[in-house]
Amino acid sequence: MNLFKRFFPLSILVLGVACSSADKPADQNIITDQAKARLDSTLKALVDSGRIAGVSALIFEKNKEVYFNSFGYADREANKAMDRNTCVRIYSMTKPVTGVALMKLYEQGLFQLDDPISKYAPEFADMKVVSGADANGNPVLVAANRPITIRDLTRHTAGFANANHPVVGKLVSEANVMNPNNTLAQMATKLATLPLAFHPGKEWSYGICVDVQAYLVERISGKPFEQFVRENITGPLAMNSTKYVPEDMSLLAAMYARQEDGSLNRVADSLANSFNGKEWPLKPGGYGLTSNIDDYMRFARMLVNEGTLENTTILKPETVKLMATNHLADSVTERMWLPSKGQVGFGIDFAVRVKPPVDEKEHAGIVGEFFWDGAASTLFWVDPQNELTAVLFVQIFPFDNSVHNAFRRAVYGPFKNPN
C-alpha cells in the first residue's frame, strides 16, 4: 500500500494536568480518575476531529483492568461502532509474537543467538554484499564480513536489501519473495539468492528479518510456523481471535486512508482483506495476524508478568528480560526511522526505551519499557516499572505517529521537564 506512506502531523490538545509518572510514588497508580478523563477526551477528540474513524484502548495496571473505552466506528459506512469484539489487522504487531515463538526454542537449548542462521538454513551460507555498481549499473559484490546470525534477525541488522535499494532494488522486486503464494521455505530460498545491502551488524534496517525468524521456527521445531504459534502461544493464552484468517470476517474493522485534504476514504475491502480474506501458503512472521483487543492484551500481560499469565507459563522471566534488553550497540548509527520512536534501542522484536523523553514532542514513556506497533497505526507497550500494559487499536493509513503520541500523553500526563 505504497500510496498510504505519507505522514500527516497532528496537534492534539491533551486536557488535564498531571505530574510525570517519574514523580509518582511506586505505590501510586498511573491510571487515576484524572487520567481516565484525559484518555476519554483525547480519544474522542481524535474521532470527532475526523482524524480517525474509530479507536479502542485497553490498559491494565498491576494485573487489573483500569481502562477500556472505544469511540467512533469499526465500519463507518455500515454505522457499526468500534467495540471490544472488533478485530483489526495488527500488521507488525505480529513480530513480537514471532519473537516469543523463536525464544521458546531458545529456552530448549536448540540454538544460540549468535549462531549463524546458515547452521539451520544452509541456503544463507556465503552471502554477498553490494559494494556499488559497475559502469553498466550492475551490482559489484563482495563476500559478507561475517555470517548473518540469529541475533541479527531479531534486531534487524541482517542486511537484507529492500525494493528501494538504488542498485539491487529491481532484483528484490523481481524476486517477489513475500508473494503470498510462497511458503516460508520458498520465501527463504528466493531471499538467499539476493545480495545484502550492508554487512551484517552494521545498520538497523527494518524489513523481512522476522519472516526469516518464522522460517527458522519451522526448521528448528519441525512444525509449520502457524501450528507452532497456535500450540505454544495463542492456544495456551486463550488468544482465540488471533489468526491470519478471522473466523468471522464481519468482526474485522474497515480500513481507512487519510487523503491530502485530511478526509478519510475507506479502503476497498478487496484490498484491505486481500491477505486476511483467505488462507495463503505464506504464513509471515512479520505481519499478517488479526486480533481483538482482549487477545492482544493477554499477550502483553504475559510479558509484563515475566512470561506467565494465569498459571500458564510461556517464557521464563530471564528470557523476557533478554528480549526486552537493548541489543543495538552505539556503533550502529544508521537506524532508518527507528529514532522516530523516541530514544530507543532494539531488543528481540521490540523497541526498548533507553532514555526518558526530552520534550513534549517525543513519545511519553518510561525507561525500560518495550513496545511495537503496526502499519495501520495499532500500538502496544509494556511498562515493567509501573506494571502497566496498553493496547491501542485503530485502522488508519498512513501510519500516524501523532495518534500514538496523543494516546501516550493521555496515559502518562503532560510532559514535565525533569530539569
**DSSP class of 206:** -
DSSP 71-121: EEEEETTTTEEP-TT-EEE-GGGGHHHHHHHHHHHHHTTS--TTSBGGGT-
205 with 252, same domain: the answer is: no
150 occurs within a structural domain: yes
Q: Give the list of residues 6+ apart from residue 270 with CB closer than 8 angstroms, or none.
A: none
Do residues 372 and 342 touch, judged by C-beta distance below 8 A?
no
Of 202, 217, 232, the position where a domain reaches its end is 217
Of 217, 249, 277, the position where a domain reaches its end is 217
Do residues 258 and 70 touch, judged by C-beta distance below 8 A?
no
384 with 317, same domain: the answer is: yes
274 with 288, same domain: the answer is: yes
158 occurs within a structural domain: yes
Give per-residue burial for 105-121: e unless 16+ CB within 10 Å, then b: bbeeeebebeebbbbbb
- State how far the Cα of 93 lies from the Cα of 89, in Å rounded to an integer: 9
CATH code, domain carrying 50: 3.40.710.10
- State how far the Cα of 409 lies from the Cα of 405, in Å rounded to an integer: 6
231 with 248, same domain: the answer is: yes
Per the omega criterion (within 30 degrees of 0), is the bond before 398 cis? Answer: yes
Task: Give the DSSP H or E segment for 69.
Answer: strand 64-75
Do residues 332 and 203 touch, judged by C-beta distance below 8 A?
yes
282 with 405, same domain: the answer is: yes
Over its C-alpha atoms, the chain yields an Rg (Å, rounded) of 21
- State how far the Cα of 164 lies from the Cα of 14, in Å rounded to an integer: 38
418 occurs within a structural domain: no
91 with 114, same domain: the answer is: no
86 occurs within a structural domain: yes
| Predicted pLDDT at 417 | 75
312 with 344, same domain: the answer is: yes
| Predicted pLDDT at 24 | 54
417 occurs within a structural domain: no
Spell out the per-residue pLDDT of the chain, length 419, in tens.
333 333 333 333 333 333 344 445 556 899 999 999 999 999 999 999 999 999 999 999 999 999 999 999 999 999 999 999 999 999 999 999 999 999 999 999 999 999 999 999 999 999 999 999 999 889 999 999 999 999 999 999 999 999 999 999 999 999 999 999 999 999 999 999 999 999 999 999 999 999 999 999 999 999 999 999 999 999 999 999 999 999 999 999 999 999 999 999 999 999 999 999 999 999 999 999 999 999 999 999 999 999 999 999 999 999 999 999 999 999 999 999 999 999 999 999 999 999 999 999 999 999 999 999 999 999 999 999 999 999 999 999 999 999 999 999 999 999 887 66
Residue range(s) defining the domain that contains residue 199: 109-217
59 occurs within a structural domain: yes
261 with 380, same domain: the answer is: yes
Backbone torsions φ then ψ of 172, nearest 5 degrees: -60, -45
Residue 38: exposure state from Cβ atoms within 10 A (0-12, 13-18, ≥19):
buried
212 with 231, same domain: the answer is: no
31 with 14, same domain: the answer is: yes
Long-range contacts, 361-369 (Cβ 8 Å, 24+): 361/405, 363/401, 363/404, 363/405, 363/408, 364/405, 364/408, 364/409, 364/411, 364/412, 364/413, 364/415, 365/408, 365/412, 366/21, 366/22, 366/412, 368/324
152 occurs within a structural domain: yes
Q: Domain tally for the chain?
A: 2
Do residues 292 and 86 touch, judged by C-beta distance below 8 A?
yes
Question: E strands within 295-383?
Answer: 308-309, 312-313, 344-346, 351-353, 370-373, 379-383
Do residues 283 and 82 touch, judged by C-beta distance below 8 A?
no
CA distances from 268 to 77, 81, 396 (A): 12, 19, 13
77 with 201, same domain: the answer is: no
Angle at 220 between CA 219 and CA 221, to 5 degrees: 100
Of 153, 183, 217, the position where a domain reaches its end is 217
Global model pTM greater than 0.75: yes
340 occurs within a structural domain: yes
63 with 158, same domain: the answer is: no
175 alpha-carbon distance from chain centroid: 25
**DSSP class of 254:** P
